[in-house]
Structure 1
Amino acid sequence: MPHVAFTSQLRRFTATPEVDSGAATLRGALDDAFAVNPRLRGYVLDDQGHLRANVVVFIDGRRSTDRVALADALQPASRVYVLQALSGG
């Protein structure tokens, strides 16, 4: 099953459950995590349901390419990591 994990930056604001999901897409896997903690959705997605500008998702070590529909395919053994992009210098 795909496994979804959130990095510690998001833990400062709300609980970030690690979730095993049967979903075939990134959207479905994130929805499974949001079902455990609905408040997390607002930190990851904007009002249109797209990834927030300051959020990056990696699937099996590669950056997610679909920030709008979140239709990136997941494999049964996929590892998904959600993190806040850091800025500054």
Structure 2
Amino acid sequence: MARIEFTPQLHRFVETPVLDTAATQLGDGLAAAFAINPRLRGYILDDQGHVRPNVVVFIDGRRARDLRGLTDPLGPDSRVHVLQALSGG
């Protein structure tokens, strides 16, 4: 099963589950996490359901490509990490 984990920094604001899911696409995996804690959705997705600009999603060490439709595939052994993007200098 794919495993979805959220950055510890988010945990300061909202419960962030570590989730094992049979989802085959990123959107379905995130939906499963949001079903556990609906408040988490607002931290990850905007009002249109797109990944927020300050959030980065990695699937198996590679940056997710479809941040609007969330159709990136998940394999049975995929590891998804949802992080807050950092900027500045």
% same residue = 63
Match of 2:86 in 1: 86
TM-score w.r.t. the length of structure 2 is 0.98
TM-score w.r.t. the length of structure 1 is 0.98
Equivalent runs, 1:31-70 vs 2, <5 Å: 31-70=31-70
Gaps of 5+ in 2: none
CA distance in 2, matches of 1:31, 1:87: 27
Deviating 4+ runs (over 3 angstroms): none
Deviations 1:3-60 (A, max 9, x none): 0000112111100000011110000000000011000000000000000000000000
Look up the SS of the partner of 1:41 in the other structure. helix
The two structures, once aligned, show a CA RMSD in angstroms of 0.5
CA distance in 1, matches of 2:63, 2:74: 13
CA distance in 2, matches of 1:86, 1:76: 29
Gaps of 5+ in 1: none
Residue type of the partner of 2:38? Answer: P
Deviation at 1:88? 1.6
